[in-house]
Homo-oligomer: A and B are copies of this chain.
């Protein structure tokens, strides 16, 4: 089966769950026309179904090839990429001055989900270009922008992010690639980078690498890192391509999934050093990378949502088609589709509700980032920036955690067929697995949530959010709608648990920071369970107040509350009670 973008679900999530409609009404989006959203998503869904989805299996089976330092992508991929740029999809939220459409991030977030859902390995390439655009736009000189930015925005050229080295993964400050100043103001860069996504490929005639390296006189650690733009081919004054630069793909990884996305070892300096141009100031490269990373983290979260939705669509179709056994009280002759079995229904609902909650969390992050960039009111911008910063690690970690869970349920629903590669369920399971790791492991996201985002302003961003969540809970409780079942009570408990845990962690951050770190991961899950539950209830109420079919959204919200949000209480106990056992682990692990 092919992929179909769930446009209605996405619009409800975007407009009501994530608050796009309210933000529009409040005037934060200026003259952006809301009617365009549905139209863009429809078009994106069509492109994804027709062009990207059919290449997903092709890419997995063929993978990529490296020969003579050149990467060849799977059959059909370069052509699909040409169609992608021709249709303008690369520049949805790119700056209008450089060939972009300037649409809100929130709209592009929904598109990003669609690309990841239809073909996650393909969608990863423009995701990285987007981060590169962000860094160049924010920190690059006018000269560099004039040469490179439009090419990146339109997608005529792609971008890479090059941080990792064998000894420098999560600890970026340990990197050793070095840059030497040249008389003409450029730099020569030497070193080896690993795990470079789309480090080389045959889909465009140039690639713009964004590389972290260290100057000879730089301080140690993250304070001595500079960011360089290194084109694969140098660019002549007239914009034509010049000499091949000294940066090459010298190896590719054999990976669990994402076979169609080349993961390269990049070597710089075999023939005199790669010519690079400084972005921002010397030794301030980490600042530029942080700009890139925030967007990239949200993008990876959306990969989690997308792959989860794809796995759900496939499992649902299988469960409707595959006949085994009979339901209790079944009146049919012969076997029933496995979807009649309550345990299969449970798995499908779990897939659907986890996906829906993570979708809204991601979209809400994008809306916050939009408001932070667009609102005319400085106070509103500041608060929205804090909200976006708070939600980013949750969007990344929760969505990719559930991406793994949901794709696993997708395999499970297929039974024995799920383990056979031909079925395709296993590919989603394999492809999803990296998303919880790259752009900062989910453990690092949880630590970011506790030590930076919760801690900022004594928890100010969290208290502001809790106010809104409490408002939602009150409205659910006040609705007296029996279809919500115990949703109100479950969300009330979850939000209270989130509040108590947040206070406890803030206090421990000061008195016993390792205790707080020990609870970071369960706190992340607790946060997402309470937040996601309230968001789903909020959009279910909006659906009920509008036209159209609302029963399904109420069911999804109720299922999430009674099965996922309900775990908040035990997660709170884990946050508060288990630090001692975690920190004493050495005796248990090394005995």
The residues of A with any CB-CB pair to B shorter than 8 Å are 164, 167, 169-171, 174, 195, 253-258, 316, 323-325, 328-329, 335, 339, 341-349, 352, 404, 408, 411-412, 415-416, 418-422, 426, 429-430, 433-434, 436-438, 441-443, 446-447, 485-486, 490, 513-514, 517-518, 520-522, 549, 551-553, 555-556, 558-559, 562-563, 566-570, 573-574, 577-589, 591
Contact A582 B342 (CB under 8 A): yes
Task: Say yes or no: A517 contacts B328, CB within 8 Å.
Answer: yes
Do the beta carbons of B419 and A346 come within 8 Å of each other? no
Distance A314 CA – B57 CA, assembled complex (angstroms): 31
- Residues in B with CB closer than 8 Å to A581 are 349, 485, 555, 558-559, 562-563
B443 lies within 8 A of A517 (CB) = no
Contact between A589 and B164, CB atoms less than 8 A apart: no
Can you identify 7 A-B contacts, CB atoms within 8 angstroms? A254-B420, A254-B422, A255-B419, A328-B513, A345-B586, A485-B577, A569-B570
B254 touches A421 (CB 8 A): yes
**A171-B324, A556-B588 known; A430-B582 Cβ under 8 A:** no
A257 to B328, CA, bound (A): 35
B549:A578 contact, CB within 8 angstroms: no
Contact partner, A562, options B418, B558, B578, B585, Cβ 8 Å:
B578
Chain B residues near A412: list those with CB within 8 A: 436-437, 441-443
Please state if B584 and A555 are interface contacts (CB–CB under 8 Å): yes
Flag if B416 contacts A437 (CB, 8 Å).
Answer: yes
Asked whether B585 lies within 8 Å of A521 as measured between CB atoms, the reply is no
Nearest-neighbour CB distance to chain B for A439, whole angstroms, equals 11
Of the candidates B164, B343, B348, B552, the one whose C-beta lies within 8 Å of that of A591 is: B552
Query: How near does chain B come to A147, taking the closest CB pair, in angstroms?
Result: 32
- Given A316-B589, A585-B348, also A566-B562 (CB < 8 A): no
- Alpha-carbon gap, A386 to B147, bound state (A): 77
B421 to A255, Cβ gap below 8 A? yes
Q: Which 8 A-B pairs have the closest CB atoms?
A: A555-B588, A552-B591, A342-B518, A256-B426, A343-B443, A562-B578, A345-B585, A342-B517
Q: State how many angstroms separate the Cβ of A57 from the closest Cβ of chain B.
A: 13
Q: How far does the alpha carbon of A586 sit from the alpha carbon of B352 in the complex, in Å? A: 12
Contact call A416/B591, Cβ cutoff below 8 A: no
Could you tell me the distance between the alpha carbons of A418 and B433 in the complex, rounded to whole angstroms? Answer: 9
Q: Which of B344, B522, B578 contacts A443 (CB 8 A)?
A: B344
